[in-house]
């Protein structure tokens, strides 16, 4: 990098119009272009890895939340079933028996 700076200073001091054709300048440009391309590729890969890690963490959190929600829903469903079995079903059965009794279904024929 220091050599590149020295080269650029020399080119700037010379103020020569043939800078474009100077092989040393071309070499500096090629090196910097390669460094830039390598840096951009490295940043792209790092960004991809960071995004993948972030998405995996989000997936884990979402899975835990969904499982907790499912457990709560199952518990609510079980409670509703118990309420139905213990409260509404006997009431419905009692009402059914009362209806049969009013029609003298159990009376001896």
Domain of residue 85 covers 59-100
Task: Note the pLDDT of residue 13.
Answer: 60
pLDDT single digits (tens) 25-54? 888 889 999 999 999 999 999 999 999 999
- Whether 37 maps to a domain, the answer reads no
- Whether 17 maps to a domain, the answer reads no
**pTM score of the predicted model:** 0.49
- The 3 state secondary structure assigned to the chain is CHHHHHHHHHHHHHCCHHHHHCHHHHHHHHHHHHHHHHHHHHHHHHHHHHHHHHHHHHHHHHHHHHHHHHHHHHHHHHHHHHHHHHHHHHHHHHHHHHHHHHCCCCCCC
- Whether 86 maps to a domain, the answer reads yes
Number of domains in the chain: 1
């Amino acid at each position: 990098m220091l050599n590149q700076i020295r080269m650029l200073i020399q080119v700037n001091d010379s103020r020569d119009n043939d800078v474009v054709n100077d092989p040393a300048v071309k070499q500096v440009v090629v090196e910097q272009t390669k460094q830039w391309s390598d840096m951009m590729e490295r940043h792209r890969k790092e960004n991809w890895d960071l995004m993948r890690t972030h998405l995996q963490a989000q997936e884990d959190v979402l899975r835990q939340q969904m499982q907790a929600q499912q457990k709560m829903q199952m518990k609510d469903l079980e409670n509703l079933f118990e309420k139905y079995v213990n409260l509404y079903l006997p009431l419905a059965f009692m009402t059914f028996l009362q209806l049969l009794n009013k029609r003298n279904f159990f009376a001896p024929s």
